Amino acid sequence: LSFVAALVTIAALAQVNALVLSVSPLKPRQGDTLAFHATLPDSKAAIITFRDRVVPMERLPDGRFRALFGTSPDMPPGLQTVTVLGDDGGKTISFALTRGTFGVQRLRVPAARNQLRKDPRVDADKAAIRACLAERTPDQLWQGAFAWPVTGSIRTQYGLKRIMNGDANYGWHKGYDIAAKTGTPIKTPADGIVALVRPCVLEGNLILVNHGQGVYTAYFHLSKFSVAEGQTIRTGERLGHVGNTGISSGPHLHWGVYVNGVAVNPKPWLTAPPK
């Protein structure tokens, strides 16, 4: 019996060892989008767990499974663990998340605008945004690198710690602020579906576009909307116009990229998007 048990154990180990799980980039920094790839020859489906979030993996044309996750400046650097579970077993790997370098920005808005942060409608806005970003659809709608949503210069980089009117607990900057004149058309950087169109207190007029597999792009402070919720939109089509609504200190587009609810650095999405 013990011989059979040993054989079963060896078979199980061999099966587990056949699974391959990898992370890219190889040395991720805070703000990077992580792509986890798993080879599970006998699995029809697989789920992945990263930082207590469990999501289904999607199958790539080459047969491997993939899932994307976001990292951010407020995610502690150091050892991270990820676990994949398929029909033919599971696998856990560890990797190091490196600390990113992000600056500090002190900014000032008129006191009346800053008071908006205490507006009772802010909680409902946040809940609507969070619920939208948590919605995960299986199809990958984007192809290749994202295009810039507006032409203009980056006024505020991703990840900066912000001190607003002296308040150091304002948080960090969750995207790019791109300076542009009020009325400048905002173009969608990739194919997607318009998921949320909402006048918010802090974000101003806001749009979220779903690009599939947990990937969303966000547009804040618009002067005008050009789309409606549920609308399919193609790369280059107009979403709306640049404005100065919400907590904003001048006309600009705040552009964010979210992966599974985490605001990531948009830069790789413009140059070398996760594969």
| Residues contributing to the site for Zn ion (CB under 5 A) | 177, 254
Residue 64 or 198 with smaller CB distance to Zn ion: 198
Could you tell me the smallest distance in angstroms from the CB atom of residue 222 to Zn ion? 13
Residue 32 or 177 with smaller CB distance to Zn ion: 177
The answer to whether residues 253 and 150 touch, using CB atoms and an 8 Å cutoff, is: yes
Residue number of the CB atom closest to Zn ion = 254
Which ranges of the chain would DSSP assign to H, the alpha helix? 2-18, 111-114, 122-134, 267-271
Name the residue among 57, 53, 51 with its Cα closest to residue 19: 57
Residue 241 or 254 with smaller CB distance to Zn ion: 254
DSSP conformation letters of 48-115: EEETTEEEE-EE-TTS-EEEEEE--TTSPPEEEEEEEEETTEEEEEEEEEBPP---EEEE---HHHHG
The answer to whether residues 123 and 196 touch, using CB atoms and an 8 Å cutoff, is: no
Residue 226 or 248 with smaller CB distance to Zn ion: 248
CA distance 21 to 43: 14
Residue 58 or 177 with smaller CB distance to Zn ion: 177
Q: Which helix (H) or strand (E) holds 38?
A: strand 33-39
Could you tell me the smallest distance in angstroms from the CB atom of residue 254 to Zn ion? 3
Residue 147 sits at the vertex; the CA angle it makes with 138 and 27, to the nearest 5 degrees, is 70
Could you tell me the smallest distance in angstroms from the CB atom of residue 250 to Zn ion? 11
Q: What single letter denotes the amino acid at residue 19?
A: L
Residue 125 or 177 with smaller CB distance to Zn ion: 177
Residue 24 or 223 with smaller CB distance to Zn ion: 223
Could you tell me the smallest distance in angstroms from the CB atom of residue 202 to Zn ion? 11
Could you tell me the smallest distance in angstroms from the CB atom of residue 156 to Zn ion? 6
The answer to whether residues 200 and 151 touch, using CB atoms and an 8 Å cutoff, is: no
Could you tell me the smallest distance in angstroms from the CB atom of residue 257 to Zn ion? 13
Three-state secondary-structure class, residue 269: helix
Could you tell me the smallest distance in angstroms from the CB atom of residue 5 to Zn ion? 60
